[in-house]
C-alpha cells in the first residue's frame, strides 16, 4: 500500500497558499475523516473549495485526491511515532537519549515514506556509470558529502567532497562530461550551492540533488532530484540533527543500491579496503 501522504503534506505545508494550507491542516488533524471523504465533503469540512482540493493534490505532486487518500490510509495502517521533540532546560540524559532516538527514527521513517523509487533507480544507474562524482555541501551537509566520498572511495569509485567553494568551482570548470555533481542542501536555497549547481548545468554536467521535500532552487536545477522529509525545526535544532541523519540515510540507500547492482565487484573492493585498514593497526 502506498504511504507517505502525511509526511508529504507536513513537508510541503509551509509553502502552500492559504486555501491549500487550510486543507492540509485539516487532513493532518483529522486523517481518518479525510480518507472517508469525497472531494466535496473534505472541502466542506475544511471550509475550503473543491478547486482547492485539486490544487493541493497537484502542489503535493500527487495524481489526485484518491492518490492522497490511499497514501494517508497507508500511513494510518503503520505504527505511529511520537513526532519530533525538543529538549527542555536541565533535561536528564536518559530523556535526551530517548528523544534523540525518536527524532532519528521519525526522520528516517518520514523520508522512507516519501521516496520516489524511480528517481532513486535513475540516480543509482547514473552514479554507477560516472567517472567522478563531485559531492558538494556546506555546514552539516558538508559532513554528509564527506561521508558519501568516503563510501565511494572504498569501492574504487572516484569522488570529491570539498567545502572550499572556489576549489569546487575549479573542479566543475574542468569536470569531465561523464562526471556528476551531487549537491546536498537541506534548505535547497544555499546561494553558493545554487551558483555551483548552475555552473554544472551550463557545462552540461549531470546533476543530482538531495534537499528537503519541496520545489527548491537547487532541486529545480537537478536532472535527478532526491528528497528528505521536512522535519519541523525545534528550538535547539534537534530536528536539524534529524535531517542530517535522513540525508545520511539516503546516501546509504544509494551506496547499497550500487553495491547490489555490482555485488561481487563491490564486496571485493570492500574486502581489500578492510584488509588494508586492518594491516595498519597495532598488533
What does the pLDDT look like over 33-91, one tens digit per residue? 999 999 999 999 999 999 999 999 999 989 999 999 999 998 888 766 656 777 888 99
Grid coordinates in use for 126? 547514473
pLDDT at 283: 59
| CB contact set of 231 (below 8 Å; sequence gap of 6+) | 84, 103, 106, 107, 110, 239, 240, 242, 243, 246
pTM, entire model: 0.82
* pLDDT tens figures, 150-204: 999 999 999 999 999 999 999 999 999 999 999 999 999 999 999 999 999 999 9
pLDDT at 154: 93
Instruction: Tell whether the model's pLDDT for residue 235 goes beyond 50.
Output: no
Rounded to whole angstroms, the Cα distance separating 134 from 210 reads: 13
| CB contact set of 135 (below 8 Å; sequence gap of 6+) | 145, 146, 148, 149, 159, 160, 161, 182, 184
User: What is the average pLDDT value for the chain, to the nearest integer?
Assistant: 90
Residue ranges of domains in the chain, CATH in brackets:
5-76 (1.10.10.10), 117-276 (3.40.50.10490)
Amino acid at each position: 500500500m502506498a504511504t507517505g501522504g502525511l509526511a508529504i503534506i507536513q513537508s510541503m505545508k509551509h509553502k502552500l497558499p492559504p486555501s491549500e494550507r487550510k486543507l492540509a491542516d485539516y487532513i493532518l488533524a483529522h486523517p481518518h475523516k479525510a480518507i472517508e471523504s469525497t472531494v466535496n465533503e473534505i472541502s466542506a469540512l475544511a471550509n475550503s473549495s473543491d478547486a482547492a482540493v485539486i490544487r493541493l493534490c497537484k502542489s503535493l505532486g500527487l495524481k489526485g485526491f484518491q492518490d492522497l487518500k490511499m497514501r494517508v490510509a497507508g500511513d494510518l495502517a503503520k505504527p505511529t511515532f511520537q513526532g519530533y521533540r525538543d529538549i527542555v532546560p536541565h533535561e536528564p540524559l536518559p530523556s535526551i537519549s530517548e528523544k534523540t532516538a525518536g527524532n532519528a527514527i521519525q526522520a528516517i521513517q518520514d523520508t522512507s515514506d516519501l521516496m520516489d523509487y524511480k528517481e532513486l533507480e535513475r540516480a543509482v544507474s547514473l552514479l554507477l556509470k560516472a567517472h567522478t562524482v563531485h559531492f558538494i555541501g556546506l555546514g552539516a551537509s558538508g559532513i554528509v558529502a564527506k561521508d558519501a566520498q568516503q563510501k565511494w572511495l572504498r569501492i574504487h569509485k572516484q569522488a570529491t567532497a570539498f567545502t572550499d567553494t572556489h576549489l569546487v568551482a575549479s573542479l566543475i570548470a574542468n569536470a569531465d562530461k561523464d562526471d556528476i555533481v551531487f549537491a546536498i542542501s537541506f534548505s535547497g536555497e544555499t546561494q553558493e550551492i545554487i551558483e555551483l549547481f548552475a555552473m554544472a548545468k551550463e557545462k552540461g554536467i549531470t546533476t543530482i540533488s538531495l534537499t528537503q521535500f519541496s520545489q527548491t532552487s537547487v532541486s529545480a536545477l537537478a536532472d535527478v532530484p532526491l528528497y528528505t522529509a521536512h522535519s519541523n525545526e525545534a528550538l535547539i535544532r534537534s530536528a536539524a540533527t534529524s535531517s542530517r541523519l535522513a540525508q545520511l540515510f539516503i546516501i546509504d540507500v544509494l551506496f547499497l543500491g550500487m553495491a547490489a547492482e555490482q555485488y561481487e565487484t563491490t564486496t571485493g573492493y570492500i574486502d581489500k579496503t578492510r584488509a588494508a585498514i586492518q594491516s595498519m593497526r597495532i598488533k
